């Protein structure tokens, strides 16, 4: 029996992040070496950047940067797939994440 339901398409949208949540995410992910937050915190420390400066330099909104912090860094074995998955979930271009990762080698 066919139903008349239509498939709901997931809308990718970065949530608005309040200050308390932002600080909590930054603090928690900066301690977990498996996350983008750890990588981003080390990059901020190495460059002497604030979170807002890093947001501007990366071309991401502050909310997008905070949401990215929660995701795991790409695995060496599945690097391309992991980058593609995170980019799709956040509605970003994959190149943005590749560019962020390349900043670490500079």
Between residues 16 and 62, the one the model is more confident about: 62
Q: Is 4 part of a structural domain of the chain?
A: no
Residue 1, in any domain of the structure: no
* Domain count within the chain: 1
* 72 phi/psi in degrees, rounded to 5: -75, 150
2 part of a folded domain = no
User: What's the mean pLDDT in 13-42?
Assistant: 90
Mean pLDDT of 35-59: 94
pLDDT band of 13, cuts 50, 70, 90: low
Is 75 a domain residue? yes
Q: How far is CA 36 from CA 2, 3, 11, 75, 86, in A?
A: 43, 42, 23, 12, 10
56-72 pLDDT per residue, tens: 998 899 989 999 999 99
Q: Which residues pair with 42 in a beta bridge?
A: none
Q: How many helices (H) and strands (E) does the chain have?
A: 6, 0
Q: Is 12 within a domain?
A: no
Domain hosting 93: range is 19-103
Structure token digits, residue 32:
């977990």
Residue 98 lies in a domain: yes
6: in domain:
no
């Amino acid at each position: 029996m066919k139903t008349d339901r239509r498939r709901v398409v997931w809308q990718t949208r970065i949530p608005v992040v309040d200050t308390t949540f932002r600080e909590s995410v930054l603090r928690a992910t900066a301690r977990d070496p498996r996350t983008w937050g750890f990588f981003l915190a080390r990059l901020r420390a190495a460059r002497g950047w604030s979170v807002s400066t890093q947001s501007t330099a990366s071309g991401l909104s502050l909310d997008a940067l905070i949401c990215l912090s929660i995701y795991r860094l790409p695995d060496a074995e599945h690097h391309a797939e992991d980058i593609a998955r995170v980019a799709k979930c956040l509605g970003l271009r994959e190149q943005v994440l590749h560019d962020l990762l390349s900043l670490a080698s500079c």
